[in-house]
Structure formats: C-alpha cells, structure tokens
C-alpha cells in the first residue's frame, strides 16, 4: 500500500535523487529529450513545496519512492489545444506534473492517479511524445488523448484528460 502526503521542505534532496532515477528510466526507454538541461530544477521543486503542490509517495516502510506535483485550477499551457479538443472544457480540473518514481518501485503512478481521483474528478495531464511509459499508464487508467499543447517555452506535449462520472 502506497501512502501519499505533502512534501516536507527537508525532503528536497530525496526528491532530486528520485528525479535523476526517473531520467534514467526515461533514457532506458529511448526518451532522450524529456527532462534535459537540469529540469526539473531544485528551484521549481522548492516552489512546488512552498505552494503546497508537491507530494511524496511512501512505501510500507515509510520510505519515499515517488513524487509528483498536483495543481488545481487553470493551467496556462492548457488554455489552447491543437489538433483536437478537451473532453470537457468548462468544469474545474486538476493537473499532474513531474511524476517520478525510484527505479525499483512499482505502483507509484497508479497510487498517484487513484489519489487524484479522490481530490477532483476532472483530470488533465501532458507528456512528451517520446514518453511511451507515461502515455501507456495514462491510457491504462482511462485517460483519453485530446490533442497537442505547447509549454510556455514552446515545447510540444501530448495532452490527455479523464473525467470521472460521480
């Protein structure tokens, strides 16, 4: 069973290590272009923590095995979608960013997604075209591909959405 709680500021170094492990996982799967140039930086993660948007995933031994940012509300990069459309574009939504796990952990993404469904039923996510692992996980959990969005720096991302019916 994986427990999820808010990240504590003292856990920054642990999270940065998890991001490095996640990058190794990506590179092994031929995803060579995502999370390059030092991304995510400790400045970004510190802001996630300070804003109350950073969460950790703990295993049964209470060790941190994963992390993600969960943000409620409009994401400016989701304001325009190309080559498609959102499944629903009027209800409030939550977004997951920077989902990462240790190289030897299992079930972090599933636990994260289940936890989010309990927070809000309209969820959006995006990922790099080369991130086949996350695309598979999103589709497995009922997310549907909606189109292409562009990050503030101009980078393309594939956009997904899931709406849980209550």
Burial 140-156 (b: 16+ CB within 10 A, else e): ebebeebebbeeeeeee
Share of the chain above pLDDT 70, in %: 99
Q: What pLDDT, on a 0 to 100 scale, did the predictor assign at position 26?
A: 94
66 burial (CB, 10 Å; 0-12 / 13-18 / 19+) is buried
The model's pLDDT over 49-83, given as tens digits with 9 standing for 90+, comes to 999 999 999 999 999 999 999 999 889 999 999 99
* Average pLDDT score, the chain: 94
Q: How far apart are CA 67 and CA 91, in angstroms?
A: 26
Q: Is pLDDT of 22 > 60?
A: yes
In this prediction, residue 157 has a pLDDT band, given cuts at 50, 70 and 90, of very high
Q: What pLDDT, on a 0 to 100 scale, did the predictor assign at position 166?
A: 57
Q: What tokens were used for 66? A: 């994963």
Q: What pLDDT, on a 0 to 100 scale, did the predictor assign at position 16?
A: 98
């Amino acid at each position: 069973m994986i427990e999820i709680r808010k990240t504590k500021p003292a856990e920054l170094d642990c999270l940065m290590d998890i991001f490095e492990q996640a990058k190794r996982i990506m590179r092994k799967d031929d995803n060579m272009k995502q999370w390059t140039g030092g991304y995510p930086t400790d400045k970004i993660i510190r802001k996630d923590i300070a804003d109350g948007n950073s969460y950790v995933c703990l295993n049964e031994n209470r060790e941190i095995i994963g992390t993600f940012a969960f943000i409620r509300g409009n994401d400016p990069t989701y304001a325009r979608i190309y080559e498609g459309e959102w499944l629903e574009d009027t209800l409030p939504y939550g977004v997951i960013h920077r989902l990462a796990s240790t190289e030897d952990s299992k079930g972090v993404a599933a636990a994260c997604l289940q936890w989010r469904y309990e927070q809000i039923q309209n969820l959006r996510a995006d990922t790099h075209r080369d991130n086949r692992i996350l695309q598979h996980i999103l589709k497995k959990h009922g997310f549907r591909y909606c189109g292409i969005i562009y990050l503030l720096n101009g980078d393309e991302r594939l956009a997904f959405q899931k709406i849980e019916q209550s």
